[in-house]
Structure 1
Amino acid sequence: MQEIRTDLLVIGAGSGGLSVAAGAVQMGADVVLLEGREMGGDCLNWGCVPSKALIASARAAHGQAQSAVFGVAPVDPQVDYAAAKAHVAGVIAQIAPVDSQARFEGLGVRVIRAYGRFVSPRVVEAGEHRITARRVVIATGSSPLVPPIPGLEDVPYLTNETLFALTDKPDHLLIIGGGPIGMEMAQAHMRLGCKVTVIEGERALGKDDPEMAAIVLDAVRAEGVEIAEGAMAAQVSRKDGVITVTTADGRAFSGSHLLMAVGRRANTDMLNLEAAGIRTARTGIRVDARLRTTNRRVYAIGDVAGGMQFTHVAGYQAGVILRSVLFGLPARAREDHIPHATYTDPELAQIGLSEAQARGIHGDRLRVARFDFAHNDRLIAERRAAGLIKVMVVRGRPVGVSIVGPQAGELINLWALVMANGLKMSAVAGMVSPYPTVGEINKRVAGAYFSPQLFDNPKVKRVVRLVQRWWP
């Protein structure tokens, strides 16, 4: 067993772990990085990157079939599913060098390709190495949650970790789970020529604003995806190559392939956390506002810490960790300024409080500004003017923004800046957007917030009349 002593040990080479390792080593710390699977973690290999690449293929196919409105003869797209998956693999390969072992070793990080296991509060074993670290960051991420549905153990199924390796196009894809992953893959596969059924135990996109989610679900249904809600999977079976999912209320759905997309679970099983005095909760490792575990020398970030499960959250938390670990600063993480998006068509994006949450907290102090995408000239020109933005405002400052429509994931960026820096609606209203752009939507909703104060205010009208009467 080789003994190693280091300033910082990072367990997991996903987005959060890589950000911590790169930042720490470039600022002078001695860093060891452990990874038992693929460098880049879930996001690069089985999550964000491959899913968005497949969505891009699906969008190209859909565009060929929907071109008549632009005066271009539509065609029935000839989809080569294996070639689409080759495109996905090519995208991963293009990005992979940024997350590679060679790059991080070039930065000065010692990379060990093995799983880590605590043997004491400060010591971790990985392969033939025994590592003693002043500080440890756990960034092991999460894996697909596969619930114990009767019969599932005897039926072949896909998860996000196996879906992108599939090269034979499913004839009929059954998806258990109507969350973001389920809905993104449902629409993408429908556009790539598959029949698709989504089976959701409660409400599809149930964590999002119901008004906004309904717009997405209507659009996805209009493309042919069957979405069964209130359909709790109770039994899975397979006969003669046909997979059948039977729900608690007696409905049955049959198809050729099954994708499990019901959520994620924190990767903690192999860490032997008890040896380090680290406690867990139902969702993952317990951390405080500084992202410290119950072992004050050990931190946890990203999915394994049990909070918001997004790549950009792990990257943000990495910055918090670096300020604390490298400089001893009492840095604290927050989540109220963290946006997230679902990349269906139309897209769905959210930051801060939803309308229902904001009303529950702020009551009569809340004002909701709305602007319909139907009034955006750029989207009208592109025949995509369906969508809505809502901004929840208290005392002039936004406390939440919900967007559904084309480029919602891009539009939310401005509101992330506004909310991270405590800016008021007046800052957005004072912005000048180029015409015609989709980004004008953000300025127009700020205008909608101020319009009643300016145009429906008798005091303002009296002042204007007085000025016009007496001003020479």
Structure 2
Amino acid sequence: MAKLLTPDICVIGAGSGGLSVAAAAAAFGVEVVLIEKGLMGGDCLNYGCVPSKALLAAAKAAAGNRAQDRFGIHTEGIEIDFARANDHVRSVIAAIEPHDSQERFEGLGVTVLREAARFTDEKTVAVGDVRIRARRFVVATGSTALVPPIPGLDEVPYLINETLFELREAPSHLAIIGGGPIGLEMAQAHRRLGAEVTVFEAAKSLGKDDPELAGIVLQSLRDEGIEILEETAVERVAAADGGVKIFAKTADGTPLETEASHLLVATGRAPNVEDLGLEAAGIRFDRKGIEVDAGLRTTNRKVYAIGDVAGGLQFTHVAGYQAGLVIRSILFRMPVKMNNTLVPWVTYTSPELGHIGMTVTEAKRAYSGAVKVLSAEYAGNDRAQAEGATMGKLKLIVGPGGRLAGADIVGAQAGEILNLLSLALSKKMTMKDLAGFIAPYPTLGELVRRAAISYYADAPKNVWLRRLLAILRKFG
């Protein structure tokens, strides 16, 4: 007979979101079963955020050495050991692995099952010869690389994020299909580590970000020697001598042919909904992911879905945020609602590019045009000047009453500066709040205060304010 488990919560998927739910529930003494058929830690730890940022760090070190002349430091030359850079990636993953490990979670009191899970009906999940009937289920199975149906792609070797970090030698020429954050981060990393790089993007690169600030990133990448072909669709690929040939066409119909040693496909993500038995559980889904309401419940009221598999914004921190909402809903019966406006994102190129809140267009629509856009240039920041990091700009999108509605930033440490703006947005702060805090000098964070102060730039010209000051001066 099959073994039957009846925990309070059953979590399917041990990525960022699933691990957060399991750890939080276990901390409250709740019985949890956690199911993972692949690697603990999911895509983020093993194939995504962690290895990509580790490789970017190695690439940044190489670029930093090349740029020392402006500080009066001369180097004879740089030798790049790509295998050692890959060793750094492996060591970072290994350092984080124990935190996400099966042993740690079993130590927290979680029952961990390392097989595939499948719903057999609306209230039961099967894992091998084990049946699980939980009070609530959380599906957190994540996503995998979306591979487009490009003719010839199934006949040539190509890389996705799950295989890219296995390379022990730098590609001589890396072609990348996809000019989004993943594609451009890896383009810069590999270019700085010695590869020739060509990026194909059918639309606009970094199309979800502020066009002006995205343009600064793209120009910087082009200045480093990366070829970025926008509005250029890949029509087919074919094998070439020791590599691959890419056949593309520009928006005006001009054909292009490029031969590369390696091909990386970075055209987005597909939710992991296959073979979960979602139909048997009465859970609606499509190619975009599992259908959820504002409280992250599926069409089966016993089942929640979080992270990439639920569609929407696909970031590790979103999965973590949603895990917190689900815990509040399941354990404390609190009403919860996902708020996408509070979600920041960062592209970790050099310079970094970040966004939070409404775009200018969204804010104007929401507030009937009563919107101001305040800005501060990195070149006007003393710390940026001292470090030779003057390429960049901050924009604050301000609604009625001076309240922060959104922000865009490009430049050094943009992601770190965005932390302050994320807090400000979540706490509904105004320009008065952001102009009034004391920033240590000299720091890049002063950019926020400088932009906020500009909200009051017209105050000295106010006639009534000038008259008030004149009256006050008469009192001595």
TM-score class, shorter-chain normalisation, is: over 0.9
Alignment counterpart, residue 251 of structure 1, candidates 233, 253, 256: 256
Check if 1:182 corresponds to 2:188.
no
Q: Which residue of 2 aligns with 1:141?
A: 142
Q: Deviations over 1:226-267 (max 9, x none)?
A: 000011111011121131111133211211000000000100
Q: Which runs of 5+ in 2 are unaligned?
A: none
Between 178-187 and 242-251, report the one with greater CA deviation. 242-251
- Residue 158 of structure 1 deviates from its aligned partner by 0.4
Contact preservation (8 Å) 1:65, 1:75:
no
CA distance in 1, matches of 2:50, 2:187: 17
Q: Which residue of 2 aligns with 1:161?
A: 162
Check if 1:290 corresponds to 2:295.
yes
SS at 1:149 equivalent: coil
Q: Deviations over 1:100-129 (max 9, x none)?
A: 000000000000001110000111111221
Contact preservation (8 Å) 1:353, 1:401:
yes
Between 279-288 and 305-314, report the one with greater CA deviation. 279-288
Contact preservation (8 Å) 1:378, 1:437:
yes
Contact preservation (8 Å) 2:346, 2:415:
yes
Q: Which residue of 2 aligns with 1:48?
A: 49
Check if 1:115 corresponds to 2:111.
no
SS at 2:4 equivalent: strand
CA distance in 1, matches of 2:426, 2:74: 46
CA distance in 2, matches of 1:244, 1:325: 52
Q: Deviations over 1:78-115 (max 9, x none)?
A: 11001100000000000110000000000000000011
Q: Which residue of 2 aligns with 1:35?
A: 36
CA distance in 2, matches of 1:363, 1:66: 47
- Residue 16 of structure 1 deviates from its aligned partner by 0.3
Q: Which residue of 2 aligns with 1:442?
A: 448
SS at 1:392 equivalent: strand
Q: Which residue of 2 aligns with 1:68?
A: 69
Q: CA RMSD in A?
A: 1.1
CA distance in 2, matches of 1:240, 1:99: 42
CA distance in 2, matches of 1:233, 1:54: 27
Q: Which residue of 2 aligns with 1:356?
A: 361
SS at 1:357 equivalent: helix
Q: Which residue of 1 aligns with 2:203?
A: 202
CA distance in 2, matches of 1:84, 1:261: 21
- Residue 175 of structure 1 deviates from its aligned partner by 0.3
Q: Which residue of 1 aligns with 2:220?
A: 219
Q: Deviations over 1:356-389 (max 9, x none)?
A: 3323333431111111111000010001111111
SS at 2:320 equivalent: helix
Task: Name the count of aligned residue pairs.
Answer: 470
Alignment counterpart, residue 471 of structure 1, candidates 465, 468, 475: 475
SS at 2:443 equivalent: coil
Q: Which residue of 2 aligns with 1:410?
A: 416
CA distance in 1, matches of 2:163, 2:460: 57
Q: Aligned partner of 2:206: which letter? A: L
Q: Which residue of 2 aligns with 1:236?
A: 237
CA distance in 2, matches of 1:27, 1:288: 26
Q: Which residue of 1 aligns with 2:318?
A: 313
- Residue 433 of structure 1 deviates from its aligned partner by 0.4
Check if 1:419 corresponds to 2:429.
no
| Distance change >3 Å, CA 415–CA 364, structure 1 → 2 | same
Q: Which residue of 2 aligns with 1:393?
A: 398
Between 338-347 and 125-134, report the one with greater CA deviation. 125-134
Q: Which residue of 1 aligns with 2:24?
A: 23
Q: Aligned partner of 2:212: which letter? A: E
Between 200-209 and 325-334, report the one with greater CA deviation. 325-334
SS at 1:365 equivalent: coil
CA distance in 1, matches of 2:463, 2:183: 51
Contact preservation (8 Å) 2:158, 2:262:
yes
SS at 2:135 equivalent: strand
CA distance in 1, matches of 2:460, 2:216: 30
Q: Which runs of 5+ in 1 are unaligned?
A: none
Contact preservation (8 Å) 1:66, 1:74:
no
SS at 1:232 equivalent: strand
Q: How does 1:325-340 map to 2 (within 5 A)?
A: 325-340=330-345
CA distance in 1, matches of 2:115, 2:475: 79
Q: Which residue of 1 aligns with 2:266?
A: 261
CA distance in 1, matches of 2:215, 2:93: 32
SS at 1:274 equivalent: coil
- Residue 272 of structure 1 deviates from its aligned partner by 1.3
CA distance in 1, matches of 2:245, 2:361: 37
Q: Deviations over 1:195-238 (max 9, x none)?
A: 00000001111111101100000001000000000111110111
Report percent identity of matched pairs. Answer: 51
SS at 2:341 equivalent: coil
- Residue 459 of structure 1 deviates from its aligned partner by 2.4
| Distance change >3 Å, CA 254–CA 6, structure 1 → 2 | same
CA distance in 1, matches of 2:265, 2:349: 18
- The list of structure 1 runs, each at least 4 consecutive aligned residues, that deviate by more than 4 angstroms after superposition, is none
Contact preservation (8 Å) 2:270, 2:287:
no
- Residue 313 of structure 1 deviates from its aligned partner by 0.5
Q: Deviations over 1:374-421 (max 9, x none)?
A: 100001000111111111111111111000111110011111111111
Between 236-245 and 116-125, report the one with greater CA deviation. 236-245
CA distance in 2, matches of 1:456, 1:271: 65
CA distance in 1, matches of 2:46, 2:80: 23
CA distance in 1, matches of 2:40, 2:121: 26
CA distance in 1, matches of 2:206, 2:460: 37
- Residue 75 of structure 1 deviates from its aligned partner by 4.1
SS at 1:329 equivalent: coil
* TM-score, normalisation: structure 2: 0.97
Q: Aligned partner of 1:140: which letter? A: T
CA distance in 2, matches of 1:457, 1:346: 39
Q: Aligned partner of 1:12: which letter? A: G
